[in-house]
Amino acid sequence: MHTRRIFWQIYPSYLIITILSLAAVFLISTRTMTRFYHTQTGKSLGLQAVFIEEKVRNLFRSANTEELARMAESLGERTPERVTLILPDGTVVGDSEMEYREMGNHRDRPEISSALAGNPGESIRFSNTLKKNMMYVAVPVRHEGRVIGAVRVAMPLNAMNQIFGEVQHQIVLGGLVVLLFAAILSLLVSRRISRPLERIKRGAERFAQGDFSSRLHDGGSIEIGSLAETMNKMAAQLEERLQTVSEERNQREAILSSMVEGVLAVDTNGHIISMNKAVARFFNVFQPETAQGRSLEEVFRNVTLQRFVAEVLEGQETRECELTVQNNETYYLQARAANLLGVQGRRIGAVVVFNDVSRLRRLENLRRDFVANVSHELKTPITSIKGFVETLLDGAMKNPEEAERFLKIVARHADRLNAIIEDLLMLSRLEQGGKEAMEMQPTGLCGIVNSAVEVCAQRAAAKNIAVNIECADELTATVNPPLIEQALINLVGNAVKYSVNGKNITVSARAEKGGVVLSVEDQGYGIEEKHLERLFERFYRVDKGRSRQEGGTGLGLSIVKHIAQAHGGTVSVESVYGRGSTFSIFLPSV
């Protein structure tokens, strides 16, 4: 349906009403004046006809046609009206403007017929004789109650039409003036009505665009003022509600973004409604903000997830499953899905919550590995001790030399068991105590470095290895000295253990931004890159046979890591296979 501006609905309507009103006034006034003029003219002609009837009555009674003809001519000279005298049979016996002998019988004329019947007659018609529109009025001529003739007085209507034309011209001019004023007034009224509505429309458009700062102030009328005030209230309420909705949305997005759990919502057609950053991280979605409205298959290439969501959308109950996602790293996810309900409890989709259990899985794997490694590490010396004790009991004790050799082996394995237990206890204390349980004090690092090197000096000398120390005397840090010394002993001991004879080891301490770094650099065998990630795990060995031959427990680097973490620091390793390794401990400033 075609719509127009309210101005073009109001203004033309006013003009049409004005024009129709002026036309009606023109027609009514013209008809009224015409009828009035005809009535007045008829009365005037009737009076003249009666006056003439009195003068010619005796002539009709004597039937003197010659005198009647002369009387008609005489009356025509004294009055502008046309005077005609007619006998009862319709014969014209006198006329003031025409030769009466040439005029036909007038008995069939309406006004004559009425007059000869005894009643005054009136008629307006075109005169064939004068070729003009005429108004005729005829009265009967009576004698002793008998009609003996008729007197007709006629007047041309040209003068009256001329007067009517002038009057109509004046009416038209007046109507045009009135129409002009009405058009101007209608324009002002229409603009007065439409302009406030247009301003209200523009204000409503601003409200629709989210600009609620402006207010409407149109008070041209009570209705428009009330409309503007109502729209202002509506804008204020919309602003408040939108602000509430925006705050709730921001809170919801902040909560979803900060959640470590992934949250994914889909509609009943499997199109994504929303998802948080955790889901994008789990499934490696690069642009999660563009995923809204797209299908699940288009965004996620995980068939298990697609099938799981489809099953939830088909059913009504809550479902659970486990997913393994391989991206830059492996994620083990526990997914729980439920119906997403809308207004009046109607189902509008499904929501899936992903819990990242990767750390638990890794810890479980570490626990299993730890148990297996501890069992394996303890089983070897225990088996050896048991075997040699049984050998002694079987008679080897009677041979002093064999007994002594066996007992030394038992003692060595007992020392190994003791070392493993001591290392495990230390790890336990480090994990349970933390930084708060340790006694921290400002300490010069050069002294700790020198003490650690001295402990390992004998083993280094046995392999002809020189240990170089790089440390500024004024370098200090707030640490637990025994633990830091133990960490350095472990690192230097490993460097000596896995270095080639005659190679050098460098132990350094230096200040860096935010703390200090303790490093042990060797020129040993080096470590392959595949082992670096798990190097600090308990009982993890790069070369298991060689490590046990060297007498290690498999817990030294794990102890170093926990000592660094207990100080709030970190441990790292850089290694090139076949060229050596560098182990570093970063200790932050307190």
The span from the CA of 147 to the CA of 138, in Å, is: 13
CA distance 463 to 290: 63
Amino acid at 1: M
Q: Compute the Cα dihedral for 474, 479, 482, 486 and give only its sign.
A: negative
**Contact residues for 35 (Cβ-Cβ < 8 A; gap 6+):** none
Strands, DSSP E only, in 171-309?
262-267, 272-275
pLDDT of residue 380: 62
d(CA 550, CA 558): 17
Q: Supply the pLDDT for residue 3.
A: 59
Contact residues for 408 (Cβ-Cβ < 8 A; gap 6+)? none
The residues pairing with 525 across neighbouring beta strands, listed in sequence order, are none
Report d(CA 255, CA 248) in Å as an integer.
10
Tell me what pLDDT residue 218 has: 62
Which pLDDT does position 214 carry in this prediction? 72
The secondary structure of 371-385, three-state, reads HHHHHHHHHHHHHHH
Helix (H, G, I), strand (E, B) or coil at 327: coil
CB atoms within 10 A of CB 185: 12
What is the spatial distance between Cα 557 and Cα 540, in angstroms, rounded to a whole number? 9
Q: Specify the pLDDT at position 201.
A: 75
Go through 427-465 and write b for each residue having 16 or more CB atoms within 10 A of its CB, e for each that does not: beebeeeeeeebebeebbbbebbeebbeebeeebeeeeb
Per-residue DSSP letter, 270:
S
Residue 500 is classified by DSSP as P
Burial of 121 (0-12, 13-18, 19+ CB in 10 A): buried
CB 534 within 8 A of CB 587: no
What pLDDT is recorded for position 461? 87
Phi, psi of 291, deg, nearest 5? -80, -20
- In sequence order, what DSSP letters do the residues of 514-574 get, joined into one string? TEEEEEEE--SS---HHHHTTTTSTT--SSHHHHHHTT--S-HHHHHHHHHHHTT-EEEEE
Number of residues that this document lists for the chain: 590
pLDDT of 244: 82
The closest of 14, 75, 76, 80 to 41, measured between CA atoms, is 80
Chain mean position to CA 519 = 56
Distance in angstroms (rounded) separating the CA atoms of residues 307 and 298: 14
What is the structure's pLDDT at 548?
A: 47
Question: Angle formed by the axes of helices 158-208 and 222-258, to 10°?
Answer: 20
Spatial separation of the C-alpha atoms in residues 305 and 296, rounded to whole Å: 9
The answer to whether the CB of 324 falls within 8 A of the CB of 305 is no
Q: In the chain, what are the domains? A: 6-163 (3.30.450.20), 259-355 (3.30.450.20), 362-429 (1.10.287.130), 440-588 (3.30.565.10)
C-beta of residue 392 within 8 angstroms of C-beta of residue 406: yes
Look up the pTM and report it. 0.42
Under 8 Å between Cβ of 440 and 478: yes
**What do you get for the CA distance between the two ends of the chain, in Å?**
78
Supply angle C-alpha 241, 242, 247, rounded to 5: 100
Q: Which amino acid is at 132?
A: K
How far apart, in whole angstroms, are the C-alpha atoms of residue 466 and residue 492?
11
Burial 375-414 (b: 16+ CB within 10 A, else e): eebeeebeebbeebeebbeeebeeeeeebeebeebbeebe
550: left (phi over 0), alpha (psi -120 to 50) or beta: alpha
Residue 64 has φ and ψ, to the nearest 5°, of -90, 95
With a cut of 70, list the residues of the chain below it in pLDDT.
1-11, 129-130, 159-160, 194, 217-221, 223, 256-258, 316, 343-345, 366-367, 369-381, 384, 412-413, 415-438, 538-554, 590
Residue 84 CA to residue 95 CA, distance in Å, equals 4
Return the HEC string of 333-359. EEEEEEEEECHHHCEEEEEEEEEECHH
Per-residue DSSP letter, 589: -
> What are the backbone angles phi and psi of residue 507, rounded to the nearest 5°?
-110, 120
- Measured CA to CA, the distance from residue 569 to residue 452 in angstroms comes to 19
Q: How far apart are CA 357 and CA 322, in angstroms?
A: 10
Burial class of residue 581, CB neighbours in 10 A (0-12, 13-18, 19+): buried
Query: Residue 503 CB: number of other CB atoms within 10 A?
Result: 16
CA 564 to chain centre: 51
pLDDT tens digits, residue range 295-342? 888 888 788 888 888 888 887 677 888 888 877 777 888 888 888 777
Q: Is the dihedral of CA 285, 290, 295, 298 positive or negative?
A: negative
Q: Please say whether the beta carbons of 509 and 445 come within 8 A.
A: yes
- Residue (of 458, 579, 463, 465) closest to 524 by Cα position: 579
Instruction: State how beta strands 467-471 and 505-512 pair.
Output: parallel
